[in-house]
């Protein structure tokens, strides 16, 4: 009796903690799509803990331990776990800027395995109950196979998508966040297995509560460090990066600031609308990610404001910086052509070097801006237009 109530109390505490996080998420006035998905994750945890409490009371025979009660609880657990792991995968993709997941048709395909597995679980309990539960009301291997397979696939997929992103040099400022998002479902799955094998402590709910609180803190940091539209670093994160680099006296290496400004962006907004202008900015952000990701230099990318972007490259070789600039322009042109839009999208890029010292950064920024202005002026004369 003492253990059963300890188990119930532990899950109840976790329910309260998740309910507080859920309430905070729901009252957020600036709720984005990924925040709505995050709220679904919190709600799924709460429902799973409630189901777990009912199961503990059933095992402890405080409520009838019948075939019907066992079947309902275990089917509910399966449906919730499928939903939880599916939502977590979607959240990771949204939070880390995967473009495909925004499309509802593709997101429906991501949900499909969870829907099929949940439907199969319900049908098997209705049509072939002996396959799922024995006479002593214990779950069979068939049940556990179906119970774990799809969640296991979502968990591995989340880790496989998130961890490699964390290791990319252009994402180093968010390495910790990406690693936590990838490792979180793996860790709680391991604790869930430990709890299943040794039903002496509520490892699963405690691990969920601790890790999810940390993930929530990271998500708050994400809101103040990322640009909402492009999912690039914002000016706040740029300042943090410059300060961080200046505090590394052991790494005396030249840095180059690249100032990037889109050409004729006003025309895109005026002729095609601001929605298409936003798409052009997202496409530019993608081009910067791809070009910097394919380049051996360690780079930091940020949206500076409007249609201006900044890339900071850490290198002593100016020629490599020129190669990066050429790659950015070529990648932007290619992505724009592949998108099939009816306008040209190109960028002017100026650059300047600085020592990595914080005091040198403002002057270097001004020099890069002046270099950018010269390129724009040259382009105006070449193209005989004054709208840039």
Identify the CATH number of the domain in which residue 377 sits: 3.30.70.270
Compute the CA torsion angle 65, 66, 68, 72 (nearest 10 deg): 20
* DSSP secondary structure of 162-197: HHHHHHSGGGGGGHHHHHHHHHHHHHHHHHHHHHHH
- Of 207, 225, 243, the last residue of a domain is 225
46 lies in some domain: yes
Read off the pLDDT of each residue in 181-192 and give the average, rounded to a whole number.
79
- Quick check: 232 and 303 in contact, CB under 8 A? yes
- Residue 197 sits in the same domain as residue 315: no
The answer to whether position 388 is within a domain reads: no
Instruction: Give me 194's structure tokens.
Output: 């430990």
> Which structural domain, as residue segments, surrounds residue 183?
2-225
Does residue 230 sit within a domain?
no
Angle CA(293)–CA(295)–CA(300) in degrees, nearest 5? 60
Give just the sign of the alpha carbon dihedral 130, 134, 137, 143. Answer: negative
267 shares its domain with 341: yes
- Residue that terminates a domain, selected from 156, 191, 225: 225
Q: What is the dihedral of CA 319, 321, 322, 325, to 10 degrees?
A: 160
- Whether 93 contacts 161, CB under 8 Å: yes
The confidence band for 388, taking pLDDT boundaries of 50, 70 and 90, is very low
pLDDT at position 99: 74
Tell me: do 186 and 246 sit in the same domain: no
Q: Can you give the pLDDT at residue 386? A: 47
- What is the Cα gyration radius of the chain? 26
For 25-39, letters b (16+ CB in 10 Å) and e give beeeeeeeebbebbb
Backbone torsions φ then ψ of 97, nearest 5 degrees:
80, 25
* Alpha carbon distance 317, 329 (integer Å): 19
**Are the C-beta atoms of residues 307 and 230 closer than 8 Å to each other?**
no
Q: Could you give the number of structural domains in the chain? A: 2
Same domain flag for 217 and 337: no
Mean pLDDT, residues 352-375:
90
Rounded mean pLDDT, 62-78: 87
In degrees and rounded to multiples of 5, residue 356 shows phi and psi of: 100, -10
**In terms of domains, do 62 and 191 share one?**
yes
Q: Is pLDDT of 376 > 70?
A: yes
pTM: 0.67
Res 31: pLDDT: 57
CA 149: distance to chain centroid?
23
3-state secondary structure 11-44: HHHHHHHHHHHHHHHHCCCCCCHHHHHHHHHHHH
262 and 214 inside one domain? no
Q: What is the pLDDT of residue 189?
A: 77
Residue 156 lies inside a defined structural domain of this protein:
yes
Task: Give first-to-last CA distance, the chain, whole Å.
Answer: 75
Helix axes 2-26, 33-59, angle to 10 degrees: 170
The verdict on 185 and 307 lying in the same domain is: no
The answer to whether residue 53 is domain-embedded is yes
> Are 14 and 144 members of one domain?
yes
Alpha-carbon gap, residue 374 to 380, rounded angstroms: 10
Are residues 128 and 218 part of one domain?
Answer: yes
Mean pLDDT, residues 304-330 taken together: 92
Sign of CA dihedral 72, 77, 80, 82: negative
**Phi/psi of residue 204, each to 5°?**
-60, -50
Picking from 225, 252, 282, the residue at the C-terminal end of a domain is 225
Do residue 171 and residue 271 come from a single domain?
A: no
Q: Examine the domain organization and report whether 210 and 305 are in the same domain.
A: no
169 within domain boundaries: yes
Are 113 and 44 in a shared domain? yes
> What is the distance between the alpha carbons of residues 24 and 7, in angstroms, rounded to a whole number?
26
Per-residue model confidence (pLDDT) at position 387: 46
Q: Is there a domain that residue 76 lies in?
A: yes
CATH of the domain at 79: 1.20.1070.10
- Residue 184 confidence class, pLDDT cut points 50, 70, 90: confident
């Amino acid at each position: 009796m003492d253990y059963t109530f300890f188990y119930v109390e532990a899950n109840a505490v976790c329910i309260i903690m998740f309910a507080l996080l859920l309430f905070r998420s729901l009252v957020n006035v600036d709720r984005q799509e990924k925040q709505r998905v995050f709220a679904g994750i919190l709600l799924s945890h709460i429902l799973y803990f409630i189901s777990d409490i009912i199961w503990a009371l059933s095992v402890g025979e405080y409520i009838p331990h019948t075939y019907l009660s066992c079947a309902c609880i275990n089917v509910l657990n399966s449906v919730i776990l499928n939903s939880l792991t599916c939502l977590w995968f979607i959240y990771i993709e949204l939070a880390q800027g995967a473009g495909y997941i925004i499309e509802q048709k593709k997101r429906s395909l991501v949900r499909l395995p969870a829907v099929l597995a949940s439907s199969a679980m319900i049908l098997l309990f209705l049509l072939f109950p002996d396959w799922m539960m024995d006479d002593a009301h214990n779950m069979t291997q068939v049940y556990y196979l179906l119970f774990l397979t799809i969640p296991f696939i979502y968990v591995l997929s989340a880790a496989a998508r998130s961890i490699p992103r964390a290791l990319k040099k252009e994402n180093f400022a968010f390495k910790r966040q990406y690693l936590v998002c990838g490792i979180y479902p793996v860790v709680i799955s391991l604790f869930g297995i430990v709890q299943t094998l040794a039903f002496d402590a509520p490892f699963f709910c405690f691990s969920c509560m601790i890790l999810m609180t940390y993930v929530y803190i990271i998500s708050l940091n994400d809101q103040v460090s990322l640009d909402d539209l492009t999912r690039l670093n914002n000016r706040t994160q740029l300042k943090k990066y410059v300060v961080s680099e200046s505090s590394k006296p052991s790494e005396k290496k030249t840095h180059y600031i690249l100032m990037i400004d889109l050409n004729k962006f006003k025309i895109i907004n005026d002729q095609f609308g601001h929605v298409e202008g936003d798409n052009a900015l997202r496409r530019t952000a993608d081009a910067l990610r791809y070009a910097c990701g394919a380049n051996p230099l360690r780079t930091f990318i940020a949206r500076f404001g409007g249609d201006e972007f900044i890339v900071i490259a850490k290198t002593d070789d100016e020629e490599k910086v020129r190669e990066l600039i050429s790659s950015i322009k070529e990648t932007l042109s290619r992505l724009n052509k592949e998108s099939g839009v009816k306008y040209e999208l190109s960028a002017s890029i100026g650059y300047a070097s600085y020592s990595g010292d914080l005091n040198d950064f403002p002057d270097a920024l001004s020099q890069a801006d002046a270099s950018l202005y010269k390129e724009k002026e040259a382009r105006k004369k070449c193209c005989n237009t004054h709208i840039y």
